[in-house]
Amino acid sequence: MQKYLLKRFVSLLGTLLGVSILVFLMVHMIPGDPVRYIMGEYATDEAINAMKVQLGLDQPLIVQYFDFLARFIQGDLGTSLMTGITVWEEIVNRFPITFQLACYSVILGSVLGVLMGVIAAVKQNTLLDRFIIMFSLIGISAPGFWIALFLIWVFAYKLGWFPISGYEGFFSLVLPAVTLSLLSIGNIARMTRSSMLDVIKQDYMRTAEAKGAPSLSRVFSHGLQNAIIPVITLIGIQFGSLLAGAVITETVFALPGIGNFAIEAISKRDIPTVQGVVLFMAMIYTVVNLTIDIVYSFVDPRIRYE
């Protein structure tokens, strides 16, 4: 396990290095001058040039990149050009909202998705199975912004049960969490159903049935336990994606999370913020994937890392 973790840690560092290069190049390809955007259209050329020298934007790209990389290694992601606050402070202030949203969405999507997938597998080719498949396809296919607007119109505007936008506590996250969980439910239900159908056909399931094991015990203890590995992988990937920022949903609901912050930074050509936020997203995503790999060995003792 120690050798495995060391290899994955080295791989994580390589991934972050590659992401840093791609992000740096892509950010500098965004049309527009960030300094002119900050100082306004009436700023003089002398003032703009002085600001570029102060921010180090007058240096060649290779020099700017290594300066950025050196600061990142020291834990410095730079200062936001929009707010004048360090990028780390902005992330620390906004990440809790994204984290809560991701947790609520994954919990709701995982519980309902796994339950629906198991029911669909057990009731294969029945009307209930077809309904679950159809619901899953709708959840996967429907655009997230359309679902968000529909939920806002019904539950926030018409019924007034939840805030329309902004963050005012737990109730502000209910509709965004439901929006994101619908996609998770569809994917998880389909994966669980497929995995369970393979397990149900195994000899040990027929043996458990012949020994008179209760149906629920047979399905969940014998079946789901052996079918859960690919489902855990899917849940981990979706959780990592949500932690990296649910961009569309946070934007529609005007939540001050990581995703909304990244969109705002891109639109305003805030180079330090975009670089810092994307690197933070990549780091979170890789750490979640590593955690999921470690969880495998606890869920299924047959898995060993050699």
d(CA 94, CA 156): 23
Q: Which of 137, 97, 119 is nearest to 242 (CA)?
A: 97
d(CA 58, CA 66): 14
pLDDT at 212 over 60: no
pLDDT in tens, 35-78: 666 666 666 777 777 777 766 766 777 887 888 788 878 877 77
Where does the pLDDT of residue 13 fall: very low under 50, low under 70, confident under 90, or very high at 90 and above?
Answer: confident
Q: Indicate the average pLDDT of the chain.
A: 78
Which 8-state DSSP code applies to residue 42? Answer: T
Helix (H, G, I), strand (E, B) or coil at 120: helix
Residue type for position 244: A
Largest CA distance in the chain: 86
> Which of 7-21, 162-176, 198-212 has the largest mean confidence?
162-176
For residue 172, what is the enclosing H or E element? none
Average pLDDT over residues 100-126: 86
Q: Which of 236, 237, 241, 238 is nearest to 258 (CA)?
A: 241
Judge contact between 140 and 234, C-beta under 8 A: no
Helix (H, G, I), strand (E, B) or coil at 41: coil
Least confident of 73-77, 135-139, 296-300: 296-300
Domains and CATH numbers, the chain: 2-73 (no CATH), 88-299 (1.10.3720.10)
pLDDT at 111 over 70: yes
pTM over 0.85: no
Q: How far are the Cα atoms of 90, 105, 163, 212, 236 from residue 177, in angstroms, in the given order?
A: 22, 5, 13, 41, 17
Q: How far are the Cα atoms of 92, 100, 281 from residue 19, in angstroms, in the given order?
A: 21, 26, 10
**Strands, DSSP E only, in 130-196?**
none
Question: Which pair of structure tokens corresponds to residue 43?
Answer: 């700023």
Q: Based on the number of CB atoms within 10 Å of its own CB, is 271 exposed (0-12), middle (13-18) or buried (19 or more)?
A: buried
Share of the chain above pLDDT 90, in %: 0
